[in-house]
Structure 1
Amino acid sequence: MSQSKPNILIIMVDQLAPAFLPVHGFDLVKAPNIMGLAERGVVFDSAYCNSPLCSPSRAVFMSGQLPSRSGVYDNAAEFRADIPTWAHYLRRAGYRTVLSGKMHFCGPDQLHGFEERLTTDIYPADYGWTPDWDHPQERPSWYHNMSSVTDAGLCVRTNQLDFDDEVVFAAERALYEHVRSPDKRPFCMVASLTHPHDPYAITQDYWDLYRDEEIPLPRHVVPVEELDPHSQRLRHVCDMDKAEITDQHIRNARHAYFGAISYVDANVGKLLKALEATGLDKETIILFTGDHGEMLGERGLWYKMSWFEGSARVPLIISAPQLYRPHRVAASVSLVDILPTLVDMAEPGAAAELAGIDGASLVPHCREEGGHDEVRGEYLAEGAVAPLLMLRRGDFKFVYSPADPDQLYDLAADPAELTNLAAEPAHAEIVAAFRKEIETRWNLAAIDADVRASQRRRRVVDDALNSGKATSWDFQPFRDASKQYMRNTIDLDDLEAMARYPRVRP
């Protein structure tokens, strides 16, 4: 790279399970642009979210802090303005920080270090979606139900298409504006799409990329009575037991989901084309990832909210062939590692000085100089009745909650997680070691009390703020029309010359 600090483009998607990408061996799905990134980049084959739900996962991604540290427990928990994010660190290091699309910030601060935000968010910023651990049997009416599956299929337009079309257009335009701008700072831009998140609906052109008869049904469906307690609670929270789901419903949902992945891929292609057309590709690191996965009917479950692989795994590719040799990383890493990674990329060595974070830089992995092999996760939202923790190290994944039986899976021998080894005498020492680690690292009673107290406070505040005149926290994008297109504040020839790229004259 010719400039001293690289540009960074982060492309983030929503609810994309890596098991359905050709990058990870699912060749049915057509995603040539994502595949191209993988062929030129570092592919993390065992990357996880740290909380399998949108807002807490994204807060981890931004802050490098687990939910119990940041307080972002669920989709309606405030992300405090005094928590430094990588956008703060990079902006302080001389970067122009830009967000186009979804980040699901809850609370009055809708920037969290971003200098510019180009679109509003698709999800609300208030406390209306606060869970209630005090009344676990009361299903929240605002939460997922199975209509996304029973209504799956073709569409002409959806909320998601409106949103993502705007996100990508704004991001493309910002890239063109950056290269024409007198601002010579490096940029870190996020283009964050909401696809392939449910509801499962896609347009004819992407639907027609797949034939109905080639859509596979889930490989493993566990009888309801054999599910673990948390999975049974998720079925209640999402009203799964009240809906009759046919094989055709499942095929329609998967068909639309695969089409949505191809839609995402086409938009990745638009951003890559803009980088190439402007010459910015030579100076830009591209990071492709997601916030959590999608069960898509596996085990009889849908959506996310559990620590099973379909829900917890995320795609993660870092493409910078001018810096890192393309290769694959087998070690387990997670979104909590993104903040120190970006800080390290912007200012080599600076990540070592960070305090109050729970992640570690991925740059050693990118440079093939070793790196960590550990994931810690916390789920503190809908469907849980107590903290639900996950540890992944080596071949093993351990899931623990004071409310439920332990779960231990050997993912090398049992990638589908069909055999819980936690109660087997042969694995007693491993379980004991994981339990000891949890006792040392977490104060579960304190976390439980904090989560419940936060939920109670937010319900009071939400009730109050919805009485009388409501004031929204949702981000309102603004563009200054006085500085767009043809205006008399600049000579016409100069204006046209400034707006044209490449420049035809000084």
Structure 2
Amino acid sequence: MSKPNILIVMVDQLNGTLFPDGPAPWLHAPNLAALAERSTRFANAYTASPLCAPGRASFMSGLLPSRTGVYDNAAEFPSSLPTYAHHLRRAGYYTALAGKMHFVGPDQLHGFEERLTTDIYPADFGWTPDYRKPGERIEWWYHNMGSVTGAGVAEITNQMEYDDAVAFEAEQKLYDLSRGHDARPWCLTVSFTHPHDPYVARQRFWDLYEGCEYLSPDVADLGYEAQDPHSKRIFDANDWRSFDITPQDINRARRAYFANISYLDEKIGGILDVLERTRQDAVVIFVSDHGDMLGERGLWFKMTFYEGSARVPLMIAAPGMEPGLVEAPVSTIDLCPTLCDLAGVDMSEVVPWTEGESLTPLGRGGTRISPVAMEYAAEASHSPLIALREGRWKYTNCAIDPEQLFDLAADPKELTNRAEDPACAEVLERFRRMAAARWDLERFDAEVRQSQACRWVVYEALRNGAHYPWDFQPLRDASNRYMRNHMDLNEVEENQRFPRGE
């Protein structure tokens, strides 16, 4: 079979509950709405881990964090783990990345033949949590509620500068691919950092949400004492006591977040427009690494298995996958085998160790019965947390916390924990058995602690004396761009033109 071109668009911290069937109608996102019309849309897609680096490593490899070792935002992604970029490249694809993937460690490619930008976050071990010091905040990098109190309008920010560059480089690469200098099929991953906080947007996108009726959370702040133990840890990690969050702050933060969805929609529309104008066919996948609680229950950002944080949008526009809505729960770890399936790439050599399942059967009317698994072992945790989503139920567990069991069909806001309800005893026991078969929580905890302790030693050592950073440095060979004297001008002008001779 011919191998299709593949365009993957990833965004950061986009709440999947806003995409029940494509973007919610009140969002100003016409390009994503148009993509949704031609896509298989997954209403219940979940991140493998609700934090950037762990979620992204799992998305790329098809493995949960307990298998990748990428437990948090400062854990090394091992070079020996195959990613979808390795699988496709091995099968003859050109693979490139524009934007964020939050690789930690000296390998900043992980199968991509080319990176078009640097990353927006550091590549070293400096953001390592420490289970030996429960409750200690790392002041220079932990989230705090300043992202909420500082929400508003700006024409340029650190993140806008980055995403403007990501979109530009992606469009330029699509133009370059259209010239036909490389006969290989291509896989281009374009990864934006919005709508991740800080909640700051450009005025013209901010103005789109004047009078928006969704600027307040559905579930008001429950208050610190009413929160479950892990949510209390998130409150503390976010330094909530140092900030007085007003209803106006909440409204402004949510408005900027929605505005940045529209900002992304424009960027994505530009990329899809270049694809169309250069007459290139491609599978298109749209996904986020994790969600954002957006003030629901008083929680912000991610780091929890509640729906706003754990659910992500997922749409796949591909030949052979029918446009329409799929309700079955799925995971971002399913995307690596899905990409290989769509490209006709054999993963049999690593299948015994993979955890994801191809989603292509669901796009052809198939069914899925296996549960979706999630893990979290990063900031605001003192021991690893795990979760399973099957059918209408979601189960969470942690060695130091009470179990949770939610009936998402009857209780979509997850306000009633049914773990102690005698009527749910049989359901709870089934989830306990499934979790026990999958996880050894004591071993998981020990492995996380070992990883953290080792990384703190290495980080402190490498910061002592001369420092060589692992951050990716995009290189441009100016001597082979545009017109130079070792080139024939006529050939340059002809070969760099698309279409030619018209």
Bin the TM-score by the shorter chain.
over 0.9
- Tell me what 1:438 maps to: 435
Answer whether contact 2:19 2:43 (CA < 8 A) is retained: no
Tell me whether 1:359 sits opposite 2:356 in the alignment: yes
- Tell me what 1:153 maps to: 152
- Tell me what 1:203 maps to: 202
SS of equivalent to 2:328: strand
SS of equivalent to 1:458: helix
Deviation at 1:178, TM superposition (A): 0.8
Give the AA of the match of 2:335: I
SS of equivalent to 2:33: helix
Answer whether contact 2:102 2:121 (CA < 8 A) is retained: yes
Answer whether contact 1:49 1:292 (CA < 8 A) is retained: yes
Deviation at 1:20, TM superposition (A): 2.7
Identity over the aligned pairs, expressed in percent?
53
Give the counterpart of 1:403 among 394, 400, 403: 400
Residues 166-315 of structure 1: matches in 2 within 5 Å?
166-212=165-211, 214-221=213-220, 222-280=222-280, 283-315=281-313
Answer whether contact 1:212 1:251 (CA < 8 A) is retained: no
SS of equivalent to 1:304: coil
Give the counterpart of 1:74 among 51, 72, 75: 72
| Distance in 2 separating the partners of 1:284 and 1:351 | 25
Answer whether contact 2:153 2:201 (CA < 8 A) is retained: yes
Give the counterpart of 2:31 among 30, 33, 37: 33
The CA deviation string for residues 102-155 of structure 1, in whole angstroms up to 9 with x for no partner, is 000000000000001100000000000000111112112120001100010001
Question: Which range moved further: 58-67 or 373-382?
Answer: 373-382
Answer whether contact 2:98 2:117 (CA < 8 A) is retained: yes
Give the counterpart of 2:374 among 377, 396, 415: 377
Give the AA of the match of 2:358: S
Deviation at 1:215, TM superposition (A): 4.4
| Distance in 2 separating the partners of 1:22 and 1:331 | 12
Give the AA of the match of 1:261: I
| Distance in 2 separating the partners of 1:25 and 1:483 | 42
The CA deviation string for residues 435-459 of structure 1, in whole angstroms up to 9 with x for no partner, is 1221221111111011011101111
| Distance in 1 separating the partners of 2:170 and 2:369 | 33
Answer whether contact 2:152 2:200 (CA < 8 A) is retained: yes
| Distance in 1 separating the partners of 2:127 and 2:430 | 36
Answer whether contact 2:13 2:196 (CA < 8 A) is retained: yes
| Distance in 2 separating the partners of 1:24 and 1:182 | 36
TM-score (norm 1): 0.96
| Distance in 1 separating the partners of 2:39 and 2:24 | 18
Deviation at 1:308, TM superposition (A): 0.1
| Distance in 1 separating the partners of 2:181 and 2:219 | 56
Give the counterpart of 2:489 among 473, 492, 496: 492
The CA deviation string for residues 177-224 of structure 1, in whole angstroms up to 9 with x for no partner, is 111132111001100000000000011111111105644211112222
Give the AA of the match of 2:342: M
CA 1:367–1:21 in 2, change beyond 3 Å: closer, same or farther?
A: closer
Tell me whether 1:455 sits opposite 2:427 in the alignment: no
| Distance in 1 separating the partners of 2:310 and 2:354 | 21
- Tell me what 1:93 maps to: 91
SS of equivalent to 2:446: helix
The CA deviation string for residues 12-37 of structure 1, in whole angstroms up to 9 with x for no partner, is 00000022348457332101111111
Gaps in structure 1 of 5+ consecutive residues: none
| Distance in 1 separating the partners of 2:162 and 2:250 | 25
Answer whether contact 2:29 2:261 (CA < 8 A) is retained: yes
| Distance in 1 separating the partners of 2:437 and 2:342 | 32
Answer whether contact 2:40 2:317 (CA < 8 A) is retained: yes
| Distance in 1 separating the partners of 2:20 and 2:325 | 14
Tell me whether 1:346 sits opposite 2:343 in the alignment: yes
TM-score (norm 2): 0.97
The CA deviation string for residues 42-76 of structure 1, in whole angstroms up to 9 with x for no partner, is 00000000100000000000111111111000000
CA 1:9–1:93 in 2, change beyond 3 Å: closer, same or farther?
A: same
Question: Which range moved further: 43-52 or 367-376?
Answer: 367-376
- Tell me what 2:107 maps to: 109
Give the AA of the match of 2:137: R
Give the AA of the match of 1:295: M
Give the AA of the match of 1:59: A
Question: Which range moved further: 184-193 or 355-364?
Answer: 355-364
SS of equivalent to 1:193: strand
Give the AA of the match of 1:267: K
SS of equivalent to 1:68: helix
Question: Which range moved further: 363-372 or 41-50?
Answer: 363-372
Deviation at 1:348, TM superposition (A): 6.1
Answer whether contact 1:343 1:351 (CA < 8 A) is retained: no
| Distance in 2 separating the partners of 1:352 and 1:77 | 26
| Distance in 2 separating the partners of 1:376 and 1:352 | 23
Give the AA of the match of 2:363: C
The CA deviation string for residues 460-482 of structure 1, in whole angstroms up to 9 with x for no partner, is 11111111111100000011111
- Tell me what 1:126 maps to: 124
Answer whether contact 1:360 1:372 (CA < 8 A) is retained: no
SS of equivalent to 2:42: strand
| Distance in 1 separating the partners of 2:293 and 2:195 | 12
Give the AA of the match of 1:62: M
Answer whether contact 2:235 2:299 (CA < 8 A) is retained: yes
- Tell me what 2:320 maps to: 323
Give the AA of the match of 2:366: E
Answer whether contact 1:212 1:255 (CA < 8 A) is retained: no
Answer whether contact 2:22 2:32 (CA < 8 A) is retained: no
Answer whether contact 2:43 2:327 (CA < 8 A) is retained: yes
Answer whether contact 1:340 1:351 (CA < 8 A) is retained: no
Deviation at 1:350, TM superposition (A): 4.7
